[in-house]
Amino acid sequence: FASNSPFITTTMPFTTSLNSVKFAKYEGLGNDFILVDDRDKEAPSLTPEQSAKLCNRNFGIGGDGVIFALKPPSEEFDFKMRIYNSDGSEPEMCGNGIRCYAKFLADLGEDASKYTIDTLAGPIIPVMNEDGTVTVDMGEPELVASNVPTTLEPNFEGDSAVEQTLECNGKTWKVSAVSMGNPHAIIFVDDLEKDIDFEVDGPALESHEAFPARINVEFVQVMAPDHLKMKVWERGAGPTLACGTGACALTVAAIRAGKIPPGGNNRVTLPGGDLFIEWRESDNKVYMSGPATFVFEGTANV
């Protein structure tokens, strides 16, 4: 392990034996993950069902997902990441998770400060900053509505859906659809506390038929031209304290809907804290900066 690694020197390597798994718990703004070191494997050492059980906050470790550090598929990558949501479904990407993943690799003694990680959303590049935060090149947003995917009719340039109306739960919503590899439905409201019935509207929108792969739902209030506040109901995880891909998606949607000006590093306030998001005009990529913190390590029955 790295000299400043938080891991207690242990004779047991991070392996998954027959009935137990070594893990490390990390969180990014309270979006918390169980990390498993499968750097010698091509596929996760746990099943979706085992992972969902470990995410249970009463019967397991507790977490919003399980993230696997896997060997890369080719020379062009340093590592591969796969993730299971706490319901066992597999998303394409996870923003808070990739920051925790980068911190995990550093704590395991991997010496690169910048990795190219292969994910189901394509190559993702996290960079460790001096102050302990992580800046991630999250790639380009996907704006073509049918690729998000959604059946919402495109109503904006580029065959995209921007504040397109959707009936759900007896209410009419204005939905902007953006993918960061995983799908997001962004809804701008005047008042986050008054304008939504979060525990009812969130799941209803997550599973609405307009979203064939289900969808992450972000409710957003514009606080200032460079400051957005959000609440998120995640696909396959429900209400979480933060969603990194969601913060990226909502920043893109806010710019396209004319809610905030393009460019700049925007502060996105999530229930668990702030992320800083830049949709860079020069390369059309979205950059996300935020914390990733080690919480504890252990061995769990599976």
Task: Give catalytic status of residue 94 as yes or no.
Answer: yes
Nearer CB in complex with ligand API: 91/202: 91
Q: Among 119, 160, 176, 182, indicate the residue that binds ligand API (CB under 6 A).
A: 182
Distance (Å, rounded) from C-alpha 13 to C-alpha 38? Answer: 11
We find the least distance from the C-beta atom of residue 180 to ligand API, in angstroms, to be 7
Count of residues in contact with ligand API, rule CB under 6 A = 19
Q: Which is nearer to ligand API, 149 or 299 (CB)?
A: 149
Q: Give the nearer residue to ligand API in terms of CB position, either 60 or 272.
A: 272
Please identify which of the residues 100, 168, 243, 248 carries the catalytic annotation.
Answer: 243
Minimum CB distance to ligand API, residue 170 (Å):
26
Beta bridge partners of residue 36, listed in sequence order: 68
Q: Binding residue for ligand API (CB under 6 A) from 24, 61, 81, 243?
A: 243
Residues 210-229 that bind ligand API (CB under 6 A): 216
Query: Which residues are CB-contacts of 139 (< 8 A; sequence separation ≥ 6)?
Result: 121, 122, 123, 124, 180, 181, 285, 286
Polymer length in residues for the chain: 302
* 171 vs 267, beta carbon nearer ligand API: 267
Are 220 and 186 contacting, i.e. CB atoms less than 8 angstroms apart? Answer: yes
Per CB under 6 A, the list member of 244, 272, 290, 291 interacting with ligand API is 244
Q: Looking at beta carbons only, is 19 or 137 nearer to ligand API?
A: 137
Q: How far apart are CA 295 and CA 290, in angstroms?
A: 16
Q: Which stretch binds ligand API (CB under 6 A): 158-166, 244-252, 277-285, 289-297?
A: 244-252
Q: Using CA atoms, how far apart are residues 148 and 177, in angstroms rounded to an integer?
A: 7
Question: For the window 96-115, what string marks contact with ligand API as x by the rule CB under 6 A?
Answer: xx------------------
Give yes or no for residue 91 binding ligand API (CB under 6 A): yes
**Piece in contact with ligand API (CB under 6 A), picked from 36-44, 92-100, 151-159, 217-225:** 92-100
Candidate list 95, 202, 272, 291; residue touching ligand API; CB under 6 A:
95
Active-site annotation holder among 94, 100, 168, 248: 94
- Closest distance of CB 12 from ligand API, Å: 29
The residues binding ligand API (CB under 6 A) are 31, 64, 85, 91, 94-97, 182, 216, 234-237, 240, 243-246
Q: Which residues are catalytic?
A: 94, 243
